[in-house]
Structure 1
Amino acid sequence: MNRLAHHQGIHKFFFTLGLTLQLSKPVIKHLIHIVDALTTKGFSGTLTDVHHWSFHPNHRTTLSHFFTKSPWDEERLLGKLQEWILSQVERLAKWKHQPLFVSIDDTICQKTKPSSRAAHAIQGCDWHYSHKDHQSVWGHSLVWLMVHTFTQAFPFAFRLYDKKAGRSKIDLAMEMLSSIKVKLTQPVYVLMDS
């Protein structure tokens, strides 16, 4: 299967974000393969899947090394992506004379229960109450924020909720809301559940 055209499109997007000037070629190469795998049908979230679905030419352990030891700045990458998202949503809202919406919600990424034989539990996992299941479940609790118009929506930010850190989900939501810099004349509506 030839993935070259797909990889060129991802590289062009990274160029649009200005990342090709800020990140090294090996980092860009890894990120292209990661995005390729994440957007492929059948991807289940494992490092083995990233290697398999992206047709990465290097050994699977190269990706593990990249995630744990490579000198790339996740915050810079996220900041560039957020700038691009806001410019897209602002342009669309202004062009169609629509309001801008900001949605805040939380979710639980449920994991299998920790094994009594496991040497280490999955980092950041805890017991969280699931309204869907009406009981506590083992997993990661995330607070996320989306920005959108009537026709397009973009994931903007997310924070891992850690009960032991002493910060509430409301604190995390306020932190993410304060990171949005909007210059619109149209109204902005913040949507959330109770």
Structure 2
Amino acid sequence: MSHTVIVPEPTAIRNYLLHHRLPLYFSKPVLAHVETYMTAATAKGFRGKVTDWAEYSDCHRTTLGHFLAEGVWDETVLQSKVKTESLRQILETSRRMAEPLFVIHDDTIAQKTKPSSQARFPMEQAGFHHSHLLGKVVWGHQVQATVLGCSDLSLIHSTNLYDKTFTHPDGTIYTKIDRVCDMAQTLPLPPHGGYCLVDSWFTCPRVIDAYAAAGYHVIGALKTNRILYPQGIRISVQDFSQHIRKEDVRLVTVNGSSYWMYRYEGALNEIGNAVVLLCWPEQALGESRALRAFLCTDVSLETETIAAYYAKRWPIEIFFRQSKNNLGFDTYQVRSAKAFIRLWALLAWTHLYCMVGLGQPCSFGDGLRAVRKQVQRDRLRYVYECAQKGIPFQVVCERFKVV
């Protein structure tokens, strides 16, 4: 008597793929790989490795490796779906809450081990990059990411490899600032105002002009060597701070922490008019090492509002931490550029699913726990249905690779 393993009812993950019409773009085998990746990536202990993925797939790990490196499917479909869905959710939240939309840019390093000079197949596109988190130069991939936010909701919008060798048609290098400016051109006019939140690397006239053309203001960190012109006098932020007295500043509380702030409004180098906030922690007023500066092109905002808005840049740091701790963002081992770019597309799609794919938006942590429970229920239901159909126990063990 032959036994055929029954096909269970569609899982929640499969229903999400169907809802976004992915069968129009991907074959059944590709969809099966995407579904098993999402199942594996949300499991405890996932490290982003193909072997982890293979534990949830009917295929051998070499098949999955081939799927990433040489498979015939278009990862830009997933990338586009992530952009479209994140933008739709954030725009809907902005209209419903009547609150501004935030576009957050930053980059991170997916750190790797420097290969030996004798390595036959080193990881592609890896190089030396300065890690601000570690305070040193490390080997790995530099990844630029964009997160969209409104109110309490923040969603991944894009992840892109920063390739120092990529150039424009005229031969000039395509920089991180170029990518940020290009992103501005793809965004719709915000329904209740919009702000681009960046660190000091991106606080420059090109980014300000690109976002102004799209209808957004820029709030960004500012290096303390930037030049101000108080009363027409040319002076750096650092030197200007030495002339600020306690009666010139005010104590502002942001997210439970208090800071002394001085507000300057006027010209900077290549910027006609903007607000610059000079900030010190409550217990470090006047200390040069504690000084932080921030720029805002919207001069109508109150000082407290500027500080509160800039604090909304933090979700992109949370995305990097969550992706590295839970989704294997810096522990993958695939070597070809196509493979790890595809892996990032799957990662972003899975992160988005955990936050908005369960009926209503939630935090990534809550969504991740809910998906894990869903997967456990689906697997238990599969075993239960096998028992009802009289499928031998050995067949079920083989299905779950516990033989």
> When the two structures are superposed, what TM-score results if normalisation uses the length of structure 1?
0.88
CA positional deviation for 1:7: 6.8
Q: What is the rounded CA distance, in whole Å, between the counterparts of 2:174 and 2:46 in structure 1?
A: 32
Are 1:88 and 2:122 matched, yes or no? no
Residue in 1 aligned with 2:175?
A: 168
Deviations 1:157-176 (A, max 9, x none): 12211222222111122233
Q: Is the 8 A contact 2:94 2:191 kept in 1?
A: no
Q: Is the 8 A contact 2:97 2:151 kept in 1?
A: no
Q: What is the rounded CA distance, in whole Å, between the counterparts of 1:184 and 1:129 in structure 2?
A: 34
Q: What is the rounded CA distance, in whole Å, between the counterparts of 2:8 and 2:146 in structure 1?
A: 31
Q: What is the rounded CA distance, in whole Å, between the counterparts of 1:92 and 1:57 in structure 2?
A: 40
Q: What is the rounded CA distance, in whole Å, between the counterparts of 1:183 and 1:14 in structure 2?
A: 29
Q: What is the rounded CA distance, in whole Å, between the counterparts of 1:176 and 1:40 in structure 2?
A: 33
Unaligned runs of 5+ residues in structure 1 are none
Q: What is the rounded CA distance, in whole Å, between the counterparts of 1:15 and 1:157 in structure 2?
A: 22
CA positional deviation for 1:61: 1.7
Per the alignment, in what secondary structure is the counterpart of residue 141 of structure 1? strand
Tell me which of 182, 186, 195 is aligned to 1:189.
195
**Aligned pairs, how many?**
188
Q: What is the rounded CA distance, in whole Å, between the counterparts of 1:11 and 1:74 in structure 2?
A: 18
Are 1:30 and 2:33 matched, yes or no? yes
CA positional deviation for 1:151: 1.1
Per the alignment, in what secondary structure is the counterpart of residue 57 of structure 1? coil
The structure with higher relative contact order (CA 8 Å, sep 6+) is 2
State, as a whole percentage, how many aligned pairs show the same letter.
Answer: 35
CA positional deviation for 1:69: 3.0
Tell me which of 5, 11, 15 is aligned to 2:14.
11
Are 1:39 and 2:51 matched, yes or no? no
Q: What is the rounded CA distance, in whole Å, between the counterparts of 1:8 and 1:135 in structure 2?
A: 45
Q: Is the 8 A contact 2:127 2:139 kept in 1?
A: yes
CA positional deviation for 1:74: 1.1
CA positional deviation for 1:6: 11
- Work out which of the two has the higher radius of gyration on C-alpha atoms and give 1 or 2: 2
Deviations 1:33-71 (A, max 9, x none): 11111222211111111112xx11122222122223322
Q: Is the 8 A contact 2:111 2:139 kept in 1?
A: yes
Residues 15-164 of structure 1: pairs in structure 2 closer than 5 A? 15-52=18-55, 55-164=56-165
Unaligned runs of 5+ residues in structure 2 are 1-6, 167-172, 201-403
Q: What is the rounded CA distance, in whole Å, between the counterparts of 2:117 and 2:80 in structure 1?
A: 40
Residue identity opposite 1:86 in structure 2: L
Q: RMSD between aligned alpha carbons?
A: 2.0
Residue identity opposite 2:18 in structure 1: F
Deviations 1:79-133 (A, max 9, x none): 1222121111111111111111110001111111222332232111101112232
Q: Is the 8 A contact 1:143 1:173 kept in 2?
A: no
